[in-house]
């Protein structure tokens, strides 16, 4: 048997030269190979490649912007500054917020403050005497993340308020399912089978984040108090079968919203009065009857005569191609639809 020898690697310097020379006819090939080998190259070569890709087309610049996070060097600062001031691209702004001096961030705050950038600007600037944190622009778990920098203290009362205000906003619909990033918990994930699936606060990435921040801030008493409170919420859900969804996957949107609605209602009923308001409304009602599991009601499809004839023709064709198929059918006693 003939074996083809593996293609020899071209020197990285040659790849860089071919990529840089847009008339070489090997730009695409060189780009692909450079990207593939980048993480294993010498730092001097990596540095040259990042510079080269930053001043190339937009797709190359996006790739280089990602690499900068792991390979940052202050020598990139002039080219990144020039590109961002000319192009005002989002990914370049992220690099600037992450690595540039605070004075530059303050001078260009209004231009950098777009989309989700405010949170990351806060992580860099919080604690500086001329920076004022606007908590209304952040979710509660983000506020605690900012305080985790340790640049300013936070009282127990304020930390607790942030936790339960977050839950309140979920209950009344200010924060929706996607905002809370909640997953379904299946009953096989707990020690006892409760007869259905559900969603709970502990399956929320946002809640996990805020609890983690509370631990880091030394607020373990608040966390333990939340665990006790949450246990009361889950006990009520577990003790009412109408609050659970029969086990099956995938879930429909309606079923997901049903489980989330149950959680919102029960959490609100257990929420401390301090965090409730007189005119609160919840746009979903608690169910009075269990959801009927219709999965067992699915009727077996009965093939038509035309489908049987087509299946038989396909079967005969397969037998001619694969004579051993009859042995498989007999061995496993397979039922044929004709």
d(CA 227, CA 255): 26
Mean pLDDT check: name the lowest of 17-21, 87-91, 156-160, 254-258: 254-258
What the block records as the tokens of 233 is 């919420």
pLDDT tier for residue 190 given thresholds of 50, 70 and 90: very low
Where helices occur in the chain by DSSP H, the ranges are: 12-20, 27-37, 43-54, 58-71, 77-87, 90-99, 102-107, 109-112, 117-125, 140-147, 156-171, 177-180, 205-216, 220-238, 253-270, 305-321, 325-331
Q: Tell me which of 109 and 338 has the higher pLDDT.
A: 109
What does the pLDDT read at residue 145?
A: 95
pLDDT band at 140 (very low <50, low <70, confident <90, very high): very high
Helix (H) or strand (E) holding 200: strand 198-204
pLDDT for residue 296: 45
In the predicted model, what is the mean pLDDT of residues 187-203? 65
pLDDT computed for residue 327 by the predictor: 60
Which tokens go with 114?
Answer: 């777009």
Summarised one tens digit per residue, pLDDT across range 239-266 is: 887 888 877 667 788 888 888 899 999 9
The larger pLDDT score, comparing residue 287 to residue 315, is at: 287
The band of 309, judged by pLDDT with boundaries at 50, 70 and 90, is low
pLDDT band of 189, cuts 50, 70, 90: very low
Q: CA–CA separation, 124 vs 279, rounded Å?
A: 38
Identify which has the larger pLDDT, 67 or 291: 67
Higher pLDDT: 36 or 327? It is: 36
pLDDT digits (tens, 9 = 90+) for 71-104: 999 999 999 999 999 999 999 999 999 999 999 9
Among 3-7, 31-35, 268-272, 305-309, the range scoring the smallest mean pLDDT is: 3-7
When pLDDT is averaged across residues 218-229 and rounded to a whole number, the result is: 96
Instruction: Using alpha carbons only, give the angle 35, 42, 15 rounded to the nearest 5 degrees.
Output: 45
28 pLDDT higher than 60:
yes
Q: Which of 72-76, 142-146, 148-152 comes out lowest in average pLDDT?
A: 148-152
Per-residue pLDDT, 310 = 67
pLDDT score, position 4 = 64
Q: Structure tokens of 121?
A: 């600007």
Tell me the pTM.
Answer: 0.76
pLDDT (average), residues 292-304: 52
What mean pLDDT comes out for the span 13-25? 88
**Better-scored residue on pLDDT, 172 or 200:** 172
Q: State the average pLDDT for the chain.
A: 84
Looking at the predicted structure, is the pLDDT value of residue 227 above 80?
yes
Mean pLDDT of 64-69: 93
């Amino acid at each position: 048997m003939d074996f083809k020898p593996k293609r020899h690697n071209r020197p990285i310097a040659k790849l860089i030269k071919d990529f840089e020379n847009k008339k070489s006819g090997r730009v695409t090939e060189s780009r692909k190979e450079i990207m593939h080998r980048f993480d294993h190259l010498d730092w001097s070569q990596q540095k040259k490649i990042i510079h080269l890709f930053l001043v190339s087309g937009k797709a190359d610049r996006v790739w280089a912007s990602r690499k900068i996070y792991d390979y940052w060097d202050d020598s990139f600062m002039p080219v990144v500054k020039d590109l961002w001031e000319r192009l005002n691209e989002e990914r370049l702004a992220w690099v600037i917020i992450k690595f540039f001096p605070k004075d530059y961030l303050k001078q260009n705050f209004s231009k950098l403050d777009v989309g989700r950038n405010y949170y990351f600007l806060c992580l860099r600037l919080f604690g500086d005497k001329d920076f004022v944190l606007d908590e209304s622009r952040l979710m509660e778990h983000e506020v605690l993340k900012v305080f985790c920098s340790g640049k300013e203290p936070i009282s127990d009362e304020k930390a607790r308020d942030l936790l339960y205000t977050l839950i309140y906003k979920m209950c009344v619909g200010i924060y929706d399912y996607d905002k809370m990033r909640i997953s379904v918990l299946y009953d096989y994930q707990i020690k006892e089978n409760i007869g259905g699936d559900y969603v709970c606060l502990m399956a929320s990435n946002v809640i996990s984040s805020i609890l983690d921040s509370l631990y880091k801030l030394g607020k373990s008493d608040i966390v333990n108090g939340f665990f006790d409170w949450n246990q009361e919420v889950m006990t009520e859900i577990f003790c009412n079968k109408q609050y659970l969804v029969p086990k099956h996957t995938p879930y429909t949107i309606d079923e997901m919203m049903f489980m989330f609605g149950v959680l919102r209602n029960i959490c609100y009923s257990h929420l401390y009065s301090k965090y409730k308001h007189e005119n609160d409304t919840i746009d979903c009602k608690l169910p009075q009857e269990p959801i009927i599991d219709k999965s067992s009601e699915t009727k077996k499809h009965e093939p038509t005569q035309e489908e049987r004839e087509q299946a038989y023709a396909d079967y005969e064709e397969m037998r001619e191609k694969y004579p051993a198929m009859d042995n498989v059918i007999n061995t496993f006693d397979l039922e044929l639809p004709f």
